[in-house]
Copies of this chain bind each other. A is one copy, B any other.
Amino acid sequence: MYRDNPLRKISWADFQKLDLMEKGPFFMRGEAPYHALIAQQFDRGLLDRVCELSNRIRSIAKTRGGANFLRDLLCEKRAMLYFAQPSSRTFLSFLSACQTVGIQTASVRDKSTSSEVKGESPDDTVRTFSSYVDMIIMRHPVGGFCERIAWLLCNTSRSVPVINAGSGPDQHPTQALLDIYTLQRSFEDAGGIEGKKIAFVGDLARGRTVRSLAWLLTYYPGVKQYFIGPESLQIGEDVTQQLDKAGMDYEVAYDFEKVIPEVDAIYMTRIQDEWDVENESQAIDTSGFHFREEHLKILKKDAVLMHPLPRRAEMDVAVDADPRAKYWRQVRNGMWVRAALILMIFQRDSEIDRYYEDLTG
């Protein structure tokens, strides 16, 4: 129970008026996250800590003894995975993270089995779920609903932390964290993320992943971002304005093949036609924004290929075997990052450090 929770000191009406940077501190407990709801609540120090912890957890998990140590860390806690939107990928990643650190889980994925059929309000539904557990991990189609629930629970006598596993078209903060972690690991022996050239390709207008990641990259000096996609799916002005304000270098481009040899990382994305209103994606020619096997020849030899998956034609299966393809590693990285985040929320991350220092010291 976190009594000095800042969300207790603001009304819901006032809270909604804040912008993302102003909301961030309301989700923190001191230096650590209490809720994990938006990319904007993470600063560079936190990103470095998440990466460090993820590395340590991954390394500890390699032995039977280490895996058992991890499984004891939160074994008296229980988490609810409430996924009101289809997602096996993110669901399984969070479930695996919970199992890795020993937190027991309950899940609600199918709305038809819920009391919503009896006319219950969404607030009551989630408050009921929270009654049984110590944490809620939720995905919801309504943007901002996670924040609403975090505020609501903090203003009851039984508050629990909330992790946003994807809310509407706006935020998916743990995806952004795992992307940062993948970049950091990939550039570990190449001076880190600082100063790298990173291209985002495909549907930049509707990919919440790109929006969050573009923002987090402003913490890494010297990074230059490229936004490459069909005109109607290009990056929004809200993102470029943020980058302008942060003084970051970036380029909006349309010739993918010209950019490939120049960059250190390419982040491919899928055309997100599930957000189409009238199948408008079908009229867009996206073939110029596919990464094909022949592109491997013009790609830098230490470059990194990423994709949040699932993929369709934009990322050629023939590329998978190339060592520069990091998207399958990215999937597994998600599990380590989420385990790290959960431990930070419960303030048990120092136990990782102690075990790791014993192991390596």
Residue ranges of A at the interface with B (Cβ–Cβ < 8 Å): 64, 67-68, 71, 75-76, 78, 80, 83, 86-89, 91-93, 95-96, 99, 104, 106, 108-110, 112-115, 117-121, 123-125, 127-129, 131-133, 156-158, 270, 274, 309-312, 317, 320, 328, 331-332, 335
Nearest residue in B to A113 (C-beta to C-beta)?
B86
Q: Which residues of B contact A156 (CB under 8 A)?
A: 320, 328
Cβ-defined contact, A99 with B115, below 8 A? no
Q: How far does the alpha carbon of A113 sit from the alpha carbon of B285 in the complex, in Å?
A: 29
Q: How far does the alpha carbon of A92 sit from the alpha carbon of B76 in the complex, in Å?
A: 17
User: How many copies of the polypeptide does the oligomer hold?
Assistant: 3
A306 to chain B, nearest CB (A): 15
Cβ-defined contact, B86 with A124, below 8 A? no
Cβ-defined contact, A311 with B120, below 8 A? yes
A309-B86 CB under 8 A given contacts A75-B71, A96-B106, A328-B156: no
Q: How far does the alpha carbon of A118 sit from the alpha carbon of B124 in the complex, in Å?
A: 31
Q: Which residues of B contact A123 (CB under 8 A)?
A: 317
Q: Which residues of B contact A114 (CB under 8 A)?
A: 86, 88
Cβ-defined contact, A129 with B312, below 8 A? no
Cβ-defined contact, B88 with A124, below 8 A? no
A307 to chain B, nearest CB (A): 10
